[in-house]
Amino acid sequence: MITLIAFFVTLGVLITFHELGHYLVAKWCGVEVQRFSIGFGKVLFTRIDKHGTEWALSAIPLGGYVKMLEHADSLVEGSANKAFNSKPVARRFAIVAAGPLFNLALAVLLYACLNIVGQSEPVPILSLPKNGSPAALAGLQSGDQITAVDDVVTQSWPQVRYQLLRKVTQGGPAEITIDRHGQTLTKSLTFESSSDLSKTDPLRLAGLRLGGTVPIVNGVVAASAADQAGLRKGDVVLAVNDLKNPDVIALIDYIQSKGNQSITLKIDRDNRVLTVDLTPREENLQDGSKVGRIGVQLGGDPQMVEVRYGLFESLWRAMERTADTSVYSLQMMWKMVTGEVSWRNISGPVTIADYAGQTAKIGLSAYIGFLALVSISLGILNLLPIPMLDGGHLLYYLIEVAKGSPLADKWQQLAQKIGMGVLACLMIIALFNDFARLFT
């Protein structure tokens, strides 16, 4: 239920803001707006304001539209000045572009609010990199705190991820500044370009994982190796064999590598240090690999930092992040066209609904951040020069400016059919990817 509510709220906010952009600029340009509708299908609510605009809310919240007076009505006096097609091309361009631009403006507003209010985020302390990973080869160690990426200061793990994920699709080196027990060091980490970001976390593949969490036993599976060895809920793991003070991820990695091999855990139970001997049971995974498991649920709270900025810095950072994310989105789209990035990265409504529900459960800040990200995606998608989208209409207007007259109706109709086909193919791919993720 939370997922559905979060999904419909997401659609409602993004669609309303998008159509509001068209509406406000149309009114500013003197165009008569006949209807402002959110959703399709059966009308649930309708009201006509003093300007004659009908405001409607329909049952299927999967879109919306602003209906304007397209052509002058010879029977209505003064309608020529209020018709959309009677306006100069610059005003028509502004009206159409306003929808996507309002989505980008919404993202700036949401990011700025998060920056002003502040967010509690994990400190970017690294877990032990796996042997042979790029992070291990670069000399990064457990407990290293990342303080900057390519000279950009990073206070939290989400900031580190944001800076590094842009490197993943391009490949190449990234200069990482770390604090190791008070000593400042710089390491060069080389990323291999990844074509499919949908299957696994690319930073995890590089050996970069959030650490700094003290492993606590949150639950013990009945009849498991841990249960038989006497582990209890609330036990704090201090060491495993020669690995001292492991974080949650390092402890899991170590246990998984010791299938059918005896290990010794040093634990803290009610301020008493105890040792527990047990043997992880080797299990086969679906991909054919084998891992050791002891049958416990491990948890631990990472160190947190409050990230907050002043008004002007918040706005600047919000605009910068919106611009960076927009450019990154366009780069990803182009790489999909050229085949450098897999089409599996395209997501559809099922994935959006899933992420909306997950972020809503995490908290308001996570959900607002997700809302900003989807708003950017919607804005950029609608600016693409594909007929049926706002960007397609903008392309028509650019052609009109270049040739001095509107594009012929037959060519517009042909372009509309092509655009409809392109969008249908994209929707099929997105839904296929959605259900592939859902069932695999």
Q: Same domain for 337 and 391?
A: yes
- Is residue 192 domain-resident? yes
Domain containing 180 — which CATH number? Answer: 2.30.42.60
Helix (H) or strand (E) holding 417: helix 409-439
- Is residue 349 domain-resident? yes
Domain stop point among 205, 238, 257: 205
Q: Same domain for 373 and 440?
A: yes
- Is residue 227 domain-resident? yes
Number of structural domains in the chain? 3
Please tell me the distance from the alpha carbon of residue 26 to that of residue 48, in angstroms, as a whole number. 17
Q: Same domain for 111 and 158?
A: no
Question: How crowded is the C-beta side of 193, counted as CA atoms within 13 Å?
Answer: 11
Neighbours of 265 (CB within 10 A): 24
Does residue 323 register a pLDDT over 70? yes
Does residue 191 register a pLDDT over 90? no
Average pLDDT, the chain: 86
Do 359 and 6 meet the contact criterion of CB atoms below 8 Å apart? Answer: yes
Q: Closest Cα partner for 206 from 149, 290, 282?
A: 149
Query: Higher model confidence: residue 174 or residue 148?
Result: 148
Least confident of 194-203, 266-275, 307-316: 194-203
Give the mean pLDDT of 361-380: 90
Give the mean pLDDT of 27-56: 88
Do 421 and 390 meet the contact criterion of CB atoms below 8 Å apart? Answer: no
Least confident of 188-192, 274-278, 293-297: 188-192
Indicate the pairing of strand 145-149 with strand 172-180.
antiparallel
The secondary structure of residue 182, as a DSSP letter, is: T
Query: What is residue 387's three-state secondary structure?
Result: coil
Encoding tokens for residue 159? 């900031």
* Residue 405 pLDDT: 82
Does residue 79 register a pLDDT over 70? no
Q: Same domain for 184 and 220?
A: no
Looking at the DSSP bridge assignments, the partners of residue 153 are 148
Q: Same domain for 189 and 104?
A: no
Q: Same domain for 251 and 193?
A: no
- Is residue 249 domain-resident? yes
pLDDT band at 94 (very low <50, low <70, confident <90, very high): very high
Using a pLDDT cut of 70, give the percent of the chain over it: 94
Query: Higher model confidence: residue 175 or residue 346?
Result: 175
Helix (H) or strand (E) holding 34: strand 33-48
Q: Same domain for 334 and 408?
A: yes
Question: How crowded is the C-beta side of 227, counted as CA atoms within 13 Å?
Answer: 8
306 flagged as catalytic: no
Give the mean pLDDT of 315-333: 89
Q: Same domain for 257 and 286?
A: yes
Using a pLDDT cut of 90, give the percent of the chain over it: 32
Least confident of 144-158, 192-206, 287-301, 306-320: 192-206
* Residue 199 pLDDT: 56
* Residue 400 pLDDT: 85
- Is residue 54 domain-resident? no
Query: Higher model confidence: residue 363 or residue 145?
Result: 145
- The residue with tokens 């997700």 is 370
Helix (H) or strand (E) holding 436: helix 409-439
**In 105-253, where do the E strands start and end?**
119-122, 145-149, 152-153, 172-180, 183-191, 216-220, 236-240, 243-244
Neighbours of 423 (CB within 10 A): 16
- Is residue 15 domain-resident? no
Contacts of 15 (CB under 8 A, 6+ apart): 38, 39, 61, 63, 64
Domain stop point among 238, 262, 296: 296
pLDDT band at 202 (very low <50, low <70, confident <90, very high): confident
Least confident of 147-156, 159-168, 179-188: 159-168
Q: Same domain for 359 and 434?
A: yes
* Residue 74 pLDDT: 47
The secondary structure of residue 42, as a DSSP letter, is: E
Domain stop point among 171, 205, 239: 205
- The residue with tokens 């080196």 is 173
Q: Same domain for 323 and 422?
A: yes
Q: What is the pLDDT of residues 230-241, one digit of tens each?
A: 999 999 999 999
DSSP 268-284: EETTEEEEEEE-PEEEE
Does residue 262 register a pLDDT over 70? yes
Domain boundaries, position 179: 134-205
pLDDT band at 285 (very low <50, low <70, confident <90, very high): confident
Does residue 250 register a pLDDT over 60? yes
Query: What is residue 317's three-state secondary structure?
Result: helix
Q: What is the phi-psi region of residue 223: left when phi exceeds 0, alpha when psi lies from -120 to 50, beta otherwise?
A: left
* Residue 349 pLDDT: 77
Choice among 19, 77, 121, 282 that is catalytic? 19
Does residue 75 register a pLDDT over 50? no
Give the mean pLDDT of 424-436: 80
Q: Same domain for 386 and 342?
A: yes
Q: Same domain for 166 and 196?
A: yes
pLDDT band at 77 (very low <50, low <70, confident <90, very high): low
- Is residue 124 domain-resident? no
Encoding tokens for residue 44? 């649930």
Query: Which one of 39-43, 105-109, 221-225 scores highest in mean pLDDT?
Result: 105-109
Domain containing 229 — which CATH number? Answer: 2.30.42.10
Indicate the pairing of strand 290-293 with strand 263-269.
unpaired
- Is residue 13 domain-resident? no
